[in-house]
Amino acid sequence: MHTVNVGIIGLGTVGGGVARLILSHHDDYVKSYGIDLSIKRGCALNASAAAACGITGDAFTNDWHEVVSDPDIDVVVELIGGEHPATEIYEAAFAAHKHVVTANKALLGRHVERLAGLARAAGVQLRCEAAAAGGIPVVNAIEHSLMGNRFLTVAGILNGTTNYILSRMTTEGLGYEEVLADAQRLGYAEADPSADVDGFDAASKTAILASMSFHTRVTTDDVYQQGIRNITAEDIAVSKDLGYTIKLLGIARNTSEGVEARVHPTMIPSTHQLAAVSGAMNAVYVVGDAVGETMFYGAGAGSFPTASAVVGDIFALAEPLSRGEQPLAEVEPFGHVLPIRRIDELTNSFYVRLRVNDEVGTLAPTVAAFSDAGISISQINQLETETDGACSVVFITHEASEAAMTKAEKALADLDGVREVASVIRIEDISKWTKGVFAN
Ligand code: HSE
């Protein structure tokens, strides 16, 4: 049995969890798997942060170069996040023929193709189970257990912060700002919540999952991104009455016309499994042509859940390394490059809520604005009149193009009786998600 030496760069929430998990389970790993994992070096900004997770003495360094240049280290675990110096760490690790394990979604969402190519050229692996949906082992499922399938759809609740906010707005009828402030107080949301609430974090994860599932280049910049700041308690309540739940979904589909990749608030039937995923939990719904519908549920963040995914990746490398064998090199990043379908090429049904003056003649021009844009309406609902003489009118459209909806939205906003176009939310046709599954 060879000892497998690991160097961890970044000993914060996730890195600290990885160190604590490996140190606390070390003897069990030896007993159960015959694998001796040793944390040879741990890199943090200061010694006390490292000591808090069990990294002391010579094992501690505050210079990442000492980790990647250590000839005994087999696996470099990068858990500092961000693009720099993470990029330089990968480059140096690959140049030294070391494998890299990471949870860095922002970096991989943009540069997975180049970095996986560097790993391949160096004959090593770049593993990132923890980068998409934290503790949920969906990357391994896509890359291994389900690899006999052609993947059709990957749709998920990929951000715990926004799911926590939307869940509380739904169950307690509270407004966005109020729940956000509470989430920040309780540590569910960052002081600057923009990466979460504006959809960037979910877009990175959508890009990673789409690239892996469809074997094509999808970067974070290819993913349409709209966050949850404009969702109101009123929209959530009306949606509920209509049989829908609003979730921030990352949706990637592999269609005959190209790949769709988008993150936006989405109305899905309240009976769908994703609608039942509440609080800060994540879930990834994966449809393969052979397996049909599958759903993976679990914690998308947090010290130990994310560490669980990182340590799983370390073991995938440690199994051959402990026998004195080299793991296989990273596979070719993408088999082909499929066209990306931009959001304005797509069609959807829409939920549109207008705040209008509740008076004679207001409604007719609003209906005309939809028909002038070529949009067919399937339902109209007028809500209670407010004390200031305004009321909300909710329209549900039949399927319409994004371009037509943009045109209608502009025309509606210009009408005299319309105080504001308060909300436009996409209603997902989930029957499209399973198109292409083999019949049994
Ligand atoms: N901030 C993320 C979330 C976790 O709220 O799910 C890390 O990607």
Q: Check which CATH number belongs to the domain holding 54 and give it.
A: 3.40.50.720
Cβ of 131 closer than 6 Å to ligand 1, yes or no, is no
Are 337 and 393 contacting, i.e. CB atoms less than 8 angstroms apart? no
3-state secondary structure of 323: coil
Place of tokens 């309406």: 377
**Which atom of ligand 1 lies closest to the CA of 105?**
8
Do residue 52 and residue 110 come from a single domain? yes
- Ligand 1 mean position, distance from CA 313 (Å): 19
Do residue 257 and residue 314 come from a single domain? no
In percent, the amount of the chain with pLDDT more than 70 equals 100
What is the average pLDDT across 37-49? 97
Q: Return the pLDDT at 334.
A: 84
- Ligand 1 mean position, distance from CA 111 (Å): 19
Cα–Cα distance, 404 to 370 (Å, whole number): 9
- Determine, yes or no, domain membership for 332: no
Q: Return the pLDDT at 144.
A: 95
Place of tokens 């692996």: 125
What count of residues does the chain have? Answer: 440
What are the pLDDT digits (tens) for 206-243?
999 999 999 999 999 999 999 999 999 999 999 999 99
Q: Return the pLDDT at 332.
A: 86
Do residue 108 and residue 149 come from a single domain? no
What are the pLDDT digits (tens) for 299-336?
999 999 999 999 999 999 999 999 999 999 999 888 78
Do residue 395 and residue 294 come from a single domain? no
In percent, the amount of the chain with pLDDT more than 90 equals 97
| Dihedral class, residue 224 (left if φ above 0, else alpha if ψ from -120 to 50, else beta) | beta
What are the pLDDT digits (tens) for 27-38?
999 999 999 999
Among 299, 333, 359, residue at a domain's last position: 299
- Determine, yes or no, domain membership for 330: no
Which residue type occupies 348? Answer: N
Cβ of 300 closer than 6 Å to ligand 1, yes or no, is yes
C-alpha 120 chain-centroid distance: 25
Cα–Cα distance, 263 to 158 (Å, whole number): 10
- Determine, yes or no, domain membership for 338: no
- State the total domains in the chain: 3
Cβ of 156 closer than 6 Å to ligand 1, yes or no, is no
Do residue 314 and residue 281 come from a single domain? no
- Determine, yes or no, domain membership for 433: no
Are 216 and 253 contacting, i.e. CB atoms less than 8 angstroms apart? no
Among 236, 264, 299, residue at a domain's last position: 299
Are 219 and 110 contacting, i.e. CB atoms less than 8 angstroms apart? yes
Do residue 255 and residue 363 come from a single domain? no
pLDDT averaged over every residue in the chain:
97
Range of the domain at 98: 3-135+303-321
Are 263 and 199 contacting, i.e. CB atoms less than 8 angstroms apart? yes
Do residue 362 and residue 317 come from a single domain? no
- Determine, yes or no, domain membership for 228: yes
Among 233, 268, 299, residue at a domain's last position: 299
- Ligand 1 mean position, distance from CA 301 (Å): 6
pLDDT band, residue 386 (cuts 50/70/90): confident
CATH assignment of the domain containing 161: 3.30.360.10
**Which atom of ligand 1 lies closest to the CA of 158?**
6
- Determine, yes or no, domain membership for 336: no
205 is catalytic: yes
- Determine, yes or no, domain membership for 241: yes
CATH assignment of the domain containing 385: 3.30.70.260
Do residue 291 and residue 308 come from a single domain? no
Sign, CA torsion 257/259/261/266: positive
**Which atom of ligand 1 lies closest to the CA of 301?**
4
- Ligand 1 mean position, distance from CA 161 (Å): 6
In terms of Cα–Cα distance, which of 301, 225, 208, 210 is closest to 266? Answer: 225
pLDDT band, residue 434 (cuts 50/70/90): very high
Q: How far lies 272's CA from each of 82, 248, 275, 285, 396, in Å?
A: 34, 14, 5, 11, 19
3-state secondary structure of 53: coil
From the list 40, 98, 105, 205, the catalytic residue is: 205
- Determine, yes or no, domain membership for 233: yes
What is the average pLDDT across 55-75? 98
Report the nearest-CA residue for atom 4 of ligand 1: 301
Cβ of 107 closer than 6 Å to ligand 1, yes or no, is no
Do residue 123 and residue 246 come from a single domain? no
What are the pLDDT digits (tens) for 174-216?
999 999 999 999 999 999 999 999 999 999 999 999 999 999 9
- Ligand 1 mean position, distance from CA 188 (Å): 9
pLDDT at residue 1 tops 80: no
Identify which of 108, 136, 196 to mutate to test ligand 1's pocket (most ligand atoms within 8 A of the CB): 196
Do residue 177 and residue 208 come from a single domain? yes
Q: Return the pLDDT at 297.
A: 98
